[in-house]
């Protein structure tokens, strides 16, 4: 670190800029909610059907694991805008002209990311103290047992999250929606890593560390206990093993070093990120095709002519034909076609090739595969097209151009939504044809509900949040639980059969309608310009 | 065709007053809206373009309150904001085609219009290239083209020549002059020479209020016989600035040629000059500041 003062100043300014936004309050409220969910048992650390008595150690481990898992997932999306903000505001170009090194810049952003995440962890630490006071199952308060898990479990996980968010921003191809979608899978992989490898050291979340301490104690303390351990969103009542007073992880030097190694890994990630960071050089951040186009379009510099000399010679000789009286009343379909073109424009050739391949596969594969995994993948593929719904105007700054046009609400709004529906219908058409040919009207209805639900969710989240990240994160998580793991009720493709399949279809139609209505109301308010 | 701005005020969060009781009536022709940075020009433009609403007062277009029926204005409005974005993956033709569809133009009319407009803004050769590769000036020209798509009756352009090279700037000025026949053009800028070149009417705005409104000649009349040129050594320039309102200086071999706005000749050797709109603008603003300061003191 060559310039600690510069790093500090950068981190401080970035942190202040973030915490002075209203969205930061929402971030803190999310942390409060997580604390509330842990305190009320909506999220619980379970040993099969049991949990231990709420000792300081148990509560500390439980709440810190809530932070390392849920906060690392959501927190990534919250902090993954540090470099992007400087890029959008133009501050980045100013910084790029200073002697500030790439490493110093990324370190400043890393500390700002970490500070934001740790402020949320602090809220959860306070919640942990409150849980012990109000639950009052064990009145013996052990500060070490309660708070050391936040230091050794949560802090390294947050450092890793802060560094990964920066790394994703530094790499051009992970900067946008693709990175947001991939993060969910990387996060899932990180949680499962020690289980997959059997190596306790490969445990970024700290779950395995607690598991290795808690399970042997539970075997001795809970009669009939078999090695079950989970941190879950509670779906059934948990019983308190009244005789099991867990005293916490024994923080041996080996365990502490293993945890601190993740801080080191975060540090290395920041340094690697600095290697890839383009330092706001637009030539490096553009795609090759754009650079070429830019090069062609930029004429050699010419001496500025004296305006008095050219005034008389430059004329606008081109004639603008006045518009005919009926020219301003074109149909809705032309606008829909324009919105559809906008939704599908900008991808590389292989994107369309994969979409076409998935479509063909849906037609060729057995029905259960076509309506199952193939449709699931086909409806993940255009996620970034849907995530632009409702956010495109903010993201590209075209809001003023669009919102000063007539009849935006009755024309452009539904056209954009319908373009999203057409993308869903088009990419999943193979499964629909197969369902129709098989005479499965219920399945076809469920497919239709899914095709309406996805763009409705995207539009509502986009219009309300102004960013595509919410949809990209939430939709990926929902897709992972629902269509991929075929959890009834959450599988919006309708492939998960069950006695309540019809009800779920109706539910998705209703939810889609509600989402579109809320998006409509929000857009109407935006158009009023108040 | 009439646009009435009736006692319009706009207060932002934090009690920041951008406009205070602004009144103006605008008819066909080019209205140049001049004012210093932060005067409230862009806020007024956004209100007139129905992008935002006034906190108080109203804007009436041909007898219709645009807050009640914004589409009555939007249907005939062309708007070029000060800051606007583009969709980088679309070509100029596709982007204009998209906005033409949003504005409700039929395909045939839109196609013809877009071709003419691209020729008008000198972008025919770049029409099929992605906008992401356009320079700032080229994007600005796309913005100008989109504002003219629907053959607007009211054309609002906010700092339109920012980023344009001198040749394109002149081309745009000429275009504005040609367009202002049976339509209203409102040109907001802080570049006095742009206004001087095309405006048939000028409104000066400062601190969110209308300071002056009239034909360019009327504003110039206020400083006729009050603009002087004096030549002073460089060392005396600071003293001259302290004593008089200096609107421009030019360093020459015989000293600094200073352009001074004053009721009487600042020095016996001062030479009377023809006033420019810039002189009138600076003098009017200075007088307004003095009046405001006096009122605040009283």
| Prediction ipTM score | 0.75
Chain B CB contacts of A318 below 8 Å: 116, 119-120
Predicted pLDDT of residue A310: 43
**pLDDT of B216 higher than 60:** yes
Whether residues A347 and A243 fall in one domain = no
Question: Where does a domain end: A250, A285, A320?
Answer: A285
Chain B CB contacts of A332 below 8 Å: none
What confidence tens digit (pLDDT) does each residue in A487-503 have? 888 899 988 767 788 89
Chain A CB contacts of B51 below 8 Å: 399-400, 403-404, 529
- Of A285-299, A456-470, B115-129, least confident by mean pLDDT is A285-299
In chain A, what percentage of residues exceed pLDDT 70?
A: 91
Q: Is residue A38 a part of any domain in this protein?
A: yes
What confidence tens digit (pLDDT) does each residue in A168-201 have? 999 989 988 899 999 999 999 999 999 888 888 8
Q: Is residue A512 a part of any domain in this protein?
A: yes
Q: Is residue A392 a part of any domain in this protein?
A: yes
For residue A344, give both structure tokens.
């599908």
Handedness of CA B67, B72, B77, B80 (dihedral sign): positive
Strand pairing category for B184-189 and B29-34: parallel
Predicted pLDDT of residue A61: 96
Closest B-chain CA to A529: B52
Whether residues A522 and A429 fall in one domain = yes
Handedness of CA A310, A311, A317, A320 (dihedral sign): positive
Q: Closest partner residue to B109 among A310, A323, A404, by Cβ?
A: A323
A283/B contact by beta carbon, under 8 A: no
What confidence tens digit (pLDDT) does each residue in A399-448 have? 889 998 988 899 999 999 999 999 999 999 999 999 999 999 999 999 99
Beta strands in A278-437 (DSSP E): none
Q: Is residue A327 a part of any domain in this protein?
A: no
Whether residues A382 and A496 fall in one domain = yes
Strand pairing category for B201-206 and B29-34: parallel
* Mean pLDDT in residue range A256-280: 94
Question: Where does a domain end: A252, A285, A318?
Answer: A285
**pLDDT of A219 higher than 60:** yes
Residue A215 confidence class, pLDDT cut points 50, 70, 90: very high
Q: Is residue A427 a part of any domain in this protein?
A: yes
Q: Is residue A230 a part of any domain in this protein?
A: yes
Whether residues A247 and A388 fall in one domain = no
Whether residues A368 and A229 fall in one domain = no
Residue A402 belongs to what H/E stretch? helix A399-403
Q: How far apart are CA A405 and CA B242, in angstroms?
A: 50
Number of structural domains (chain A) is 2
Contact B113, A323 (CB under 8 A): yes
Q: What region does B40 belong to: left with phi over 0, alpha with psi -120 to 50, or beta?
A: left
Q: What is the CA radius of gyration of chain A?
A: 27
Predicted pLDDT of residue A109: 96
Mutate to test the interface with B, among A88, A288, A311, A330 (most CBs of B within 10 A): A330
Q: Is residue A303 a part of any domain in this protein?
A: no
Question: Where does a domain end: A246, A267, A285?
Answer: A285
**pLDDT of A255 higher than 80:** yes
Whether residues A98 and A213 fall in one domain = yes
Q: How far apart are CA A271 and CA A273, in angstroms?
A: 5
Whether residues A352 and A233 fall in one domain = no
**pLDDT of A308 higher than 60:** no
Exposure string over A121-132, b if 16+ CB within 10 A, otherwise e? bebbbebbbebb
Q: How far apart are CA A267 and CA A113, in angstroms?
A: 13
Bridge partners for B155 per DSSP = B78, B185
Closest A-chain CA to B128: A293
Beta-carbon contacts of B33 under 8 Å, excluding residues fewer than 6 positions away, are B41, B44, B45, B186, B187, B188, B189, B202, B203, B205
Q: First CA to last CA across chain A, in angstroms? A: 47
Give A280 to chain B, closest Cα distance, Å.
Answer: 16
**pLDDT of B171 higher than 80:** yes
Mutate to test the interface with B, among A22, A405, A408, A527 (most CBs of B within 10 A): A405
For residue B259, give both structure tokens.
């352009």
Highest mean predicted confidence (pLDDT) among A263-272, B133-142, B266-275: A263-272
Q: Closest partner residue to B116 among A290, A321, A403, by Cβ?
A: A321
Which residue range(s) make up the domain with A188? Answer: 4-285
Beta-carbon contacts of A429 under 8 Å, excluding residues fewer than 6 positions away, are A359, A362
Q: What is the pTM of this model?
A: 0.77
Predicted pLDDT of residue A235: 65
Bridge partners for A230 per DSSP = A46
Chain B CB contacts of A403 below 8 Å: 50-51
What confidence tens digit (pLDDT) does each residue in B111-150 have? 999 999 999 899 999 999 999 889 888 999 999 999 999 9
For residue A395, give both structure tokens.
């993201």
Q: Closest partner residue to A311 among B87, B165, B170, by Cβ?
A: B170
Beta-carbon contacts of A282 under 8 Å, excluding residues fewer than 6 positions away, are none
Mutate to test the interface with B, among A338, A388, A419 (most CBs of B within 10 A): A338
* Mean pLDDT in residue range B79-97: 90
Q: Is residue A308 a part of any domain in this protein?
A: no
State chain A's mean pLDDT as an integer: 88
Q: What is the 3-state secondary structure (H, E, C) of A199-227?
A: CCCCCCCCHHHHHHHHHHHHHHHCCCCCC
Give B151 to chain A, closest Cα distance, Å.
Answer: 6
Whether residues A160 and A225 fall in one domain = yes
Whether residues A380 and A235 fall in one domain = no
Whether residues A228 and A347 fall in one domain = no
Whether residues A51 and A187 fall in one domain = yes
Q: How far apart are CA B239 and CA B259, in angstroms?
A: 14
Whether residues A354 and A277 fall in one domain = no
For residue A232, give both structure tokens.
């879950």
**pLDDT of B91 higher than 80:** yes
Domains of chain B: 3-218 (3.40.50.300), 221-297 (no CATH)
What confidence tens digit (pLDDT) does each residue in A309-368 have? 444 445 555 578 888 777 766 678 999 999 999 999 888 899 999 999 999 999 999 999
């Amino acid at each position: 670190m060559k310039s600690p003062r510069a790093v500090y100043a950068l981190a401080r300014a970035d942190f202040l800029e973030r915490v002075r936004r209203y969205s930061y309050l929402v971030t803190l409220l999310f942390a409060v909610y997580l604390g509330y969910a842990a305190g009320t048992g909506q999220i619980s650390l379970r040993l099969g059907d049991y949990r231990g008595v709420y000792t300081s150690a148990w509560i500390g481990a439980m709440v810190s694991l809530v932070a390392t898992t849920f906060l690392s997932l959501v927190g990534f999306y919250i902090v993954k805008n540090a470099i992007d903000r400087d890029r959008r505001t133009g501050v980045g170009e100013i910084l790029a002209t200073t002697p500030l090194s790439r490493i110093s810049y990324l370190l400043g952003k890393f500390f700002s990311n970490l500070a934001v995440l740790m402020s949320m962890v602090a809220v959860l630490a306070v919640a942990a103290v409150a849980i012990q006071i109000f639950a009052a199952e064990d009145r013996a308060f052990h500060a070490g047992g309660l708070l050391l898990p936040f230091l050794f479990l949560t802090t390294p996980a947050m450092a890793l999250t802060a560094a990964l968010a920066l790394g994703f921003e530094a790499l051009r191809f992970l900067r946008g929606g693709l990175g947001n979608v991939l993060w969910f899978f990387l996060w899932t992989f990180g949680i499962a890593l020690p289980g997959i490898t059997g190596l306790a050291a490969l445990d970024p979340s700290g779950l395995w560390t607690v598991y290795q301490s808690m399970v042997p104690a539970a075997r001795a303390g809970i009669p009939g206990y078999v090695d079950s351990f989970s941190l879950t969103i509670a779906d059934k009542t948990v019983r308190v093993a009244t005789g099991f007073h867990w005293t916490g992880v024994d923080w041996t030097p080996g365990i502490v070093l293993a945890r601190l190694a993740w801080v080191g890994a975060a540090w290395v990630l920041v340094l690697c990120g600095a290697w890839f960071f383009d330092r706001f050089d637009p030539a490096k951040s553009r795609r090759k095709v754009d650079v070429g186009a830019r090069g062609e379009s930029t004429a050699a510099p010419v001496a500025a002519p004296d305006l008095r000399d050219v005034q008389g010679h430059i004329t606008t000789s081109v004639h603008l034909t006045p518009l005919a009286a009926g020219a301003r009343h074109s149909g809705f379909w032309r606008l829909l076609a324009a919105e559809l073109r906008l939704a599908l424009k900008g991808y590389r050739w292989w994107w369309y090739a994969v979409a076409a391949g998935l479509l063909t596969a849906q037609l060729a594969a057995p029905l259960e595969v076509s309506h199952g995994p193939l449709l699931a993948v086909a409806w993940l593929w255009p996620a970034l097209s849907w995530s632009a719904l409702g956010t495109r105007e903010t993201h590209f700054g075209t809001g003023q151009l669009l919102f000063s046009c007539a009849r935006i609400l009755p024309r452009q709004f539904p056209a954009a939504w319908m373009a999203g529906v057409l993308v869903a219908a088009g990419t999943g058409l193979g499964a629909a044809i197969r369902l129709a040919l098989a005479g499965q009207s219920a399945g076809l209805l469920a497919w239709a509900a899914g095709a309406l639900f996805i763009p409705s969710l995207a539009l509502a989240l986009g219009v309300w949040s102004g960013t595509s990240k919410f949809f990209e994160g939430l939709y990926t998580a929902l897709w992972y639980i629902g269509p991929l793991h075929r959890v009834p009720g959450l599988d919006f493709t309708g492939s998960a059969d069950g006695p309540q399949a019809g009800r779920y279809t109706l539910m998705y139609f209703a939810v889609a309608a509600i989402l579109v209505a809320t998006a409509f109301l929000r857009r109407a308010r935006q158009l009023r310009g108040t | 065709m009439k646009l009435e701005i009736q006692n319009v005020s706009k207060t932002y969060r934090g009690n920041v007053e951008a406009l205070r009781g602004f009144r103006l009536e605008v008819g066909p022709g080019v209205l140049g809206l001049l004012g210093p940075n932060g005067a409230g020009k862009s806020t007024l433009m956004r209100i007139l373009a129905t992008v935002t609403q006034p906190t108080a007062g109203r804007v009436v277009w041909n007898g219709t309150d645009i807050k009640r029926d914004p589409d009555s204005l939007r249907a005939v409005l062309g708007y070029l904001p000060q800051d606007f974005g583009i969709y980088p993956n679309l070509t100029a033709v596709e982007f204009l085609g998209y906005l033409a569809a949003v504005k409700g133009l039929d395909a045939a009319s839109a196609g013809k219009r877009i071709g003419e407009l691209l020729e008008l803004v000198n972008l025919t050769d770049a029409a099929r290239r992605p906008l992401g590769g356009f320079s700032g000036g080229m994007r600005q020209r796309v913005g100008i083209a989109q504002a003219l798509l629907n053959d607007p009756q009211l054309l609002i352009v906010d700092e339109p020549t920012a980023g344009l090279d001198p040749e394109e700037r002149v081309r745009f000025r000429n275009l504005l002059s040609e367009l202002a026949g049976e339509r209203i053009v409102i040109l907001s800028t802080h570049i006095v020479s742009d206004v001087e070149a095309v405006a048939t009417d000028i409104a000066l705005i400062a601190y969110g209020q209308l300071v002056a409104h009239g034909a360019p000649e009327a504003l110039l009349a206020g400083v006729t016989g009050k603009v002087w040129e004096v030549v002073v050594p460089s060392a005396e320039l600071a003293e001259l600035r302290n004593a008089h309102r200096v609107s421009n200086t030019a360093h020459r071999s015989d000293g600094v040629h200073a352009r001074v706005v004053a009721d009487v000749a600042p020095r016996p050797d001062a030479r009377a000059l023809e006033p420019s709109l810039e002189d009138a603008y600076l003098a009017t603003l200075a007088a307004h500041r003095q009046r405001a300061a006096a009122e605040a003191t009283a």
